[in-house]
Amino acid sequence: MEEKFLYSYNTVMARKLRKEQTAAEKILWERLRNRKFMNEKFKRQHSINSYITDFYCYAHRLIVEVDGSIHD
């Protein structure tokens, strides 16, 4: 049951974070989306276990976190 709750919570939070991107995230997303960076697919605000990453490339198991005022 807890796993289902966590999934639902992370899904809702990820959607919210996609709508409320920081300026830095918007700039980086424009450069990563649609395979613009080295023809690799990136996802934004991707949920992994109990974490939500800013950007994730599955092919390379690469997580990109963008620091900004939200972390202060």
Query: Is this prediction's pTM over 0.75?
Result: yes
Number of structural domains the chain divides into: 1
Q: Count CB neighbours of 32 within 10 A.
A: 19
Buried b (16+ CB within 10 A) or exposed e, 40-65: eebbbbbbeeeebbbbbbeeeeeeee
Parts of the chain with a pLDDT under 50:
1
Q: What pLDDT is attached to residue 31? A: 97
Pure H helices in 1-72: 2-19, 23-32
**DSSP-derived secondary structure letter, 39:** T
Q: Which residues pair with 13 in a beta bridge?
A: none
Domain around 6: 2-71
